[in-house]
Amino acid sequence: YVCWANEREGRKGNIRFARSTDGGKTFSKALTLNSDAAAPPVGHAFQSMTVDRQGRIYVAWIDERRKTKADRGGEIWMSVSTNRGQSFGHDYRILSDVCECCRTTLAVDARGTLFLSYRTVPNSGPMMRDIIVARSVNAGKTFTPVPVSADGWEVNGCPVAGPSLNLDAMGNPVVVWFMGGEAKPGLYFSRSTDGGKTYASRQTLDATQHIGKHVHLAGGLGNPLFAAWDDADAKTFSVWGAFDGQTGVREKSANHTGIAYPVAAVNGNTVLIAGLNLAAREIQTFLVKMGTASSNGTDE
């Protein structure tokens, strides 16, 4: 399954979906998931996707179709497929007061509880950009926002640093995010042990990182967790490492200068990482074996 946002004009676009039933050799004709595609272009972006044990596909994205000049933030909309991507139901609004420039992440546990992480924008008062993980226990029909941490980071701009969410080996939701501001900026994480009803006090992911953005938390589904992120303190480079969800990064790679926006996929103790080579403007891949300090980079 592949989901993406295409661009129509001026960074406005639609949410698209395609599937392959032959191991990725071919893909189906793309479907448009937002129902306002024929209307004048508005923002639909920062999509995320997950699949539950019944095969239902959930896609969520940040949506600006109802936004007015008075609105500080956007909304999150969702569409669901119950036939493994052959078609999707009509999209619907699930959350409001959402930071428009910070990506979302969806995950689902073995019980079918959905978790959706995002950065919030208050509808009034100081512009505190706290992290929320909303949960749904009715197959995505409704979501309850659950605050993760009251960071007190006030910013009248675009953080461009959304949280990343995954499940640990016990099925607990774990969320990683960047907090800026003057009070101990850096990457933090928190875990819930009660099905996402509450979250533990935040902990530092890696004490050496101060401007760690674009974090991606990979693994889950019985695989160990693995975090990858950008460090943009002095110069941009990517860092990654094994992560246990309780004590932070326990095994970290060397700095990969000039690589940005890393994403990872985990299979057992093997991790495939793809990042943007800023100089070449090309995707570069790295193969990492957890439990070793080495990693091999290959261009693709």
Local confidence band at 293 (pLDDT 50, 70, 90 cut-offs) = very low
DSSP character at residue 131? E
Percentages of the chain per state (helix, strand, coil), in multiples of 5: 0, 50, 50
Domain assignment of residue 100, yes or no? yes
Q: According to the model, what pLDDT value does residue 160 have?
A: 84
Local confidence band at 9 (pLDDT 50, 70, 90 cut-offs) = confident
The mean per-residue pLDDT over the stretch 207-212 comes to 75
Q: According to the model, what pLDDT value does residue 65 have?
A: 94
pLDDT above 80 (res 299):
no
| Six token digits for residue 151 | 């960071």
Domain assignment of residue 258, yes or no? no
Domain assignment of residue 83, yes or no? yes
Domain assignment of residue 241, yes or no? no
Domain assignment of residue 62, yes or no? yes
Q: According to the model, what pLDDT value does residue 235 have?
A: 67
Q: According to the model, what pLDDT value does residue 297 have?
A: 47
CATH of the domain at 122: 2.120.10.10
Domain assignment of residue 139, yes or no? yes
Domain assignment of residue 249, yes or no? no
**Sequence-ordered strand ranges (E) for 33-71:** 44-51, 57-63
Domain assignment of residue 140, yes or no? yes
The mean per-residue pLDDT over the stretch 273-294 comes to 86
The model's pLDDT over 103-119, given as tens digits with 9 standing for 90+, comes to: 999 999 999 999 999 99
The model's pLDDT over 72-100, given as tens digits with 9 standing for 90+, comes to: 899 999 999 999 999 999 999 999 999 99
pLDDT above 50 (res 16):
yes
The model's pLDDT over 156-169, given as tens digits with 9 standing for 90+, comes to: 888 888 999 999 98
The parent domain of residue 130 ranges over 2-204
Query: Which letter, b or e, does each residue of 66-101 get, where b requires 16 or more Cβ atoms within 10 Å of its Cβ?
Result: ebeeeebbbbbbbbbbeeebeebeebeebbbbbbbb
Please tell me the distance from the alpha carbon of residue 191 to that of residue 172, in angstroms, as a whole number. Answer: 7
237 vs 86 pLDDT, higher one: 86
Q: According to the model, what pLDDT value does residue 199 have?
A: 98
Q: According to the model, what pLDDT value does residue 300 have?
A: 39
Q: According to the model, what pLDDT value does residue 206 have?
A: 81
Count of structural domains, the chain: 1
